[in-house]
C-alpha cells in the first residue's frame, strides 16, 4: 500500500493560481491535501481564496495558519513580522488592512481559528503541517539557514515528513531521518517561474518520493487586478506575480 499527499502554501489571495492548483490536484486524486498557511494577504481576491480553501477543508484538506494570516486577522504585526525591528513598512500595513476589510467577520473568524500546526499519519508515517518550521510561523527553512539551526528545528517534531511554505521557494530536503517538503507558493512564487508551485509526496513503505509541480494561471490578469486596486506597494506586488521574482 502507498499514500500520496498534495502540499501547497502561500496562496496570498491569488484565487486564479489556487484554482489552477486545485484542478491539478484533483487529477492526481491524493489521499490527503495540506495547505500550509499565508492564505490572503497581497493578492486581489482574499475572500475568494478563503471560500475556496474552506471548500477544500470541507472535503478533508488540512489547513494551517501562516504569519501573514495573523497580520490580516488581528493586526498583530510584531508576531507576524518579527524581523521588522524598526517598524512595519506602510506597504505591509496597507495590504493587511485591505485584506482584513475584504474578508468580513465570518471569514476573519475562520482565519483566526486555524491552528499553527496539524499532524497526519498515513502508512504509519507522521506528517507535520506547519507554515514556516516546527514550532514557528516565522522562522523558515531559508537556503542560507545554518545547518545546526535547521537540525535543531526539525528535531522539534517526531514527524518524518515536515510540510511547510513561507519562503515562496519550492524545495525538498531529504535529511535521511526526516524530509522537509516546501511546496513553494500557490500564488506568489519567488523563484523566477511565474506559475503556481506545489508538491506531491508519495509514501510507499519506508520510501518517500517527492515531486515539485507547477500549474499555469493567467499572471497578467492577476497582476492587472492587483495594479487596479491601487494600495501602497501594488506596483511591486503586480510585478512579482508577472515575473515570479520578489520585486520591492
Q: Which of 47-56, 145-154, 171-180, 181-190 has the lowest mean pLDDT?
A: 145-154
Residue 1 has pLDDT above 90, yes or no: no
Nearest-angstrom CA–CA distance, 144 and 5: 27
Residue 143 has pLDDT above 90, yes or no: no
CB 166 within 8 A of CB 10: yes
CB 199 within 8 A of CB 212: yes
Quick: pLDDT tens for 213-231. 999 999 999 999 999 999 9
Q: What ranges in 39-86 are assigned the alpha helix state H?
A: 46-58, 67-74, 77-80
Residue 104 has pLDDT above 90, yes or no: yes
Domains of the chain: 2-243 (3.60.21.10)
β-sheet with 161-164: strand ranges across? 117-122, 125-130, 161-164, 179-182, 171-174
Q: How confident is the model at residue 83 (pLDDT cuts 50, 70, 90)?
A: very high
Helix (H, G, I), strand (E, B) or coil at 246: coil
* Cβ partners under 8 Å of residue 64, min gap 6: 34, 35, 36, 37, 114, 115, 116, 117, 118, 129, 130, 131
Mean pLDDT of the chain: 97
Report helix angle 219-229 to 234-243, nearest 10: 180
Quick: pLDDT tens for 169-220. 999 999 999 999 999 999 999 999 999 999 999 999 989 999 999 999 999 9
Share of the chain above pLDDT 70, in %: 100
Share of the chain above pLDDT 90, in %: 96
Instruction: Please give the DSSP secondary-structure letter assigned to residue 186.
Output: S
Nearest-angstrom CA–CA distance, 164 and 62: 12
Instruction: Please give the DSSP secondary-structure letter assigned to residue 42.
Output: S
* Residue that wins the pLDDT comparison between 206 and 163: 163
Amino acid at each position: 500500500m502507498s499514500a500520496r499527499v498534495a502540499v501547497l502554501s502561500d496562496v496570498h489571495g491569488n484565487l486564479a493560481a489556487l484554482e489552477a492548483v486545485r484542478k491539478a490536484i484533483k487529477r492526481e486524486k491524493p489521499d490527503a491535501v495540506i495547505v500550509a498557511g499565508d492564505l490572503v494577504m497581497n493578492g486581489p481576491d482574499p475572500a475568494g481564496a478563503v471560500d475556496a480553501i474552506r471548500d477544500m477543508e470541507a472535503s478533508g484538506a488540512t489547513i494551517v495558519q501562516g504569519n501573514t494570516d495573523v497580520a490580516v486577522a488581528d493586526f498583530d504585526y510584531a508576531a507576524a513580522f518579527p524581523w521588522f525591528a524598526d517598524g512595519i513598512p506602510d506597504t505591509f500595513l496597507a495590504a493587511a488592512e485591505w485584506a482584513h476589510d475584504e474578508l468580513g467577520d465570518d471569514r476573519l473568524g475562520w482565519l483566526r481559528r486555524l491552528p499553527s500546526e496539524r499532524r497526519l499519519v498515513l502508512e504509519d508515517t507522521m506528517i507535520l503541517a506547519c507554515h514556516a518550521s516546527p514550532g514557528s510561523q516565522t522562522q523558515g527553512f531559508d537556503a542560507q539557514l545554518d545547518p545546526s539551526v535547521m537540525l535543531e528545528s526539525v528535531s522539534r517534531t517526531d514527524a518524518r515528513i515536515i510540510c511547510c511554505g513561507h519562503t515562496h521557494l519550492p524545495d525538498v530536503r531529504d535529511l535521511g531521518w526526516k524530509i522537509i517538503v516546501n511546496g513553494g507558493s500557490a500564488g506568489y512564487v519567488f523563484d523566477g517561474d511565474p506559475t503556481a508551485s506545489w508538491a506531491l509526496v508519495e509514501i510507499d513503505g519506508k520510501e518517500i518520493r517527492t515531486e515539485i509541480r507547477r500549474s499555469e494561471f493567467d499572471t497578467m490578469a492577476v497582476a492587472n487586478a492587483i495594479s487596479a486596486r491601487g494600495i501602497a506597494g501594488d506596483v511591486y506586488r503586480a510585478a512579482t506575480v508577472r515575473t515570479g521574482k520578489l520585486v520591492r
